[in-house]
């Protein structure tokens, strides 16, 4: 699994502190944001990675991402649509300051009492959001608070303290800086010492931090980023294997070939021969950040059609 870090900036527009939209997801790199995120997979299937846990989501499933929780998505192109809710912490911490440090210990809900209560509430909330009237913001707020209350009553959670929250936030920001640096410089010769220097820590500390956060070593992660780039070049250009290696940072086609055998069970040459066949659709690795977010107007129209089905 390859991942790249990013702190996502969420903008709240239609309803204060709450944004709802539809998104078509091929892949979204490892990222965090200061908002809580809920999602309903409206159609298709997708793989969700949360704190190194892997979840295979199908249509109708609900997911929950805590503040500053590392997560990524991977799916087949054009095969899914997600109804996404992003909620700023100001929305609920004004009710109780402790809620700022809330962290649920379950992330995916596919069935059961919690799901049966949450799913219709979130769908009704989206319906009011996309059909605004004078008091729709009040209704959306009340529905989300109802959903939050259901989670609090039925889902295990912890309330971290200021120190623990600060540590979680700092770790998320550090891994973002590290993965962003690797993404920017992966075509060059970079080493663990470069990462250590970037963060003003020892190489030993950098190595263990990366392993702890990503569950793979620095070199494995670097190779995955290079492989992602090579895969994009194969699909987007007609470059030779040698040129793709040079453009991606691989010192030899041997290493690129190893990655293809490990990931897809075929050589680079075999993959390039297969990619043009109509039935050949691969799930994009989660480092490739390919997505289509619909505008408010398009989301509203598409949501209405999907609900009527």
Q: Which residues are CB-neighbours of 224 under 8 A, at least 6 positions away?
A: 1, 2, 3, 216, 259, 285, 287
Instruction: Determine the angle formed by the axes of helices 162-185 and 218-236, rounding to 10 degrees.
Output: 50
User: Per-domain residue ranges for the chain?
Assistant: 18-161+287-308
Predicted pLDDT at 27: 65
Q: Given a cut of 70, is residue 21 above it in pLDDT?
A: yes
> Which CATH architecture group holds 18-161+287-308?
Sandwich (2.60)
What confidence tier does 99 reach under pLDDT thresholds 50, 70, 90? confident
Percent of the chain with pLDDT over 90: 49
Q: Given a cut of 50, is residue 278 above it in pLDDT?
A: no
pLDDT in tens, 235-267: 888 899 999 999 999 988 999 999 889 888 889
What does the alpha-carbon distance between residue 46 and residue 175 come to, in Å, rounded to a whole number? 24
- Other beta carbons less than 10 A from residue 288's beta carbon: 19
Higher pLDDT, 283 or 17: 17
What does the alpha-carbon distance between residue 140 and residue 122 come to, in Å, rounded to a whole number? 9
Q: Is residue 302 within 8 Å of residue 80, measured between CB atoms?
A: no
Predicted pLDDT at 15: 62
């Amino acid at each position: 699994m390859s991942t790249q870090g990013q702190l996502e900036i969420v903008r709240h527009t239609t309803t204060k502190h709450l944004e709802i939209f539809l998104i078509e997801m091929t892949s979204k790199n490892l990222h965090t944001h200061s908002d809580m995120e809920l999602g309903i997979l409206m159609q298709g299937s997708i793989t969700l990675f949360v704190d190194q846990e892997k979840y295979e989501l199908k249509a109708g499933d609900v997911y929950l991402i805590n503040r500053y929780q590392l997560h990524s998505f991977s799916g087949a192109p054009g095969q899914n649509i997600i109804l996404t809710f992003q909620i700023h912490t100001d929305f609920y911490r004004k009710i109780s300051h402790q809620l700022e440090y809330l962290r649920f210990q379950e992330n995916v809900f596919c069935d059961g009492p919690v799901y049966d209560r949450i799913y219709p509430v979130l769908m009704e909330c989206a319906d009011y959001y996309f059909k605004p009237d004078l008091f729709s913001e009040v209704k959306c707020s009340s529905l989300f608070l109802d959903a939050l209350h259901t989670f609090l009553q039925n889902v295990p959670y912890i309330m971290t303290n200021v120190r623990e929250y600060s540590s979680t936030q700092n770790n998320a920001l550090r891994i973002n800086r590290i993965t962003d640096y690797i993404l920017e410089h992966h075509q060059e010769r970079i080493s663990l010492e470069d990462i250590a220097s970037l963060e003003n820590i020892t190489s030993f500390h950098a190595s263990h931090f990366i392993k702890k956060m990503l569950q793979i070593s620095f070199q494995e992660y670097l190779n995955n980023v290079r492989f992602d780039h090579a895969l994009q070049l194969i699909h987007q250009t007609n470059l030779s294997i040698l040129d793709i290696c040079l453009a991606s940072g691989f010192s030899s086609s041997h290493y690129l070939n190893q990655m293809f055998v490990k990931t897809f069970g075929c050589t680079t040459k075999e993959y390039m021969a297969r990619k043009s066949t109509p039935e050949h659709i691969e799930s994009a690795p989660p480092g490739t950040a390919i997505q289509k977010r619909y505008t408010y107007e398009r989301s509203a129209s598409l949501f209405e059609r999907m609900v009527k089905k």
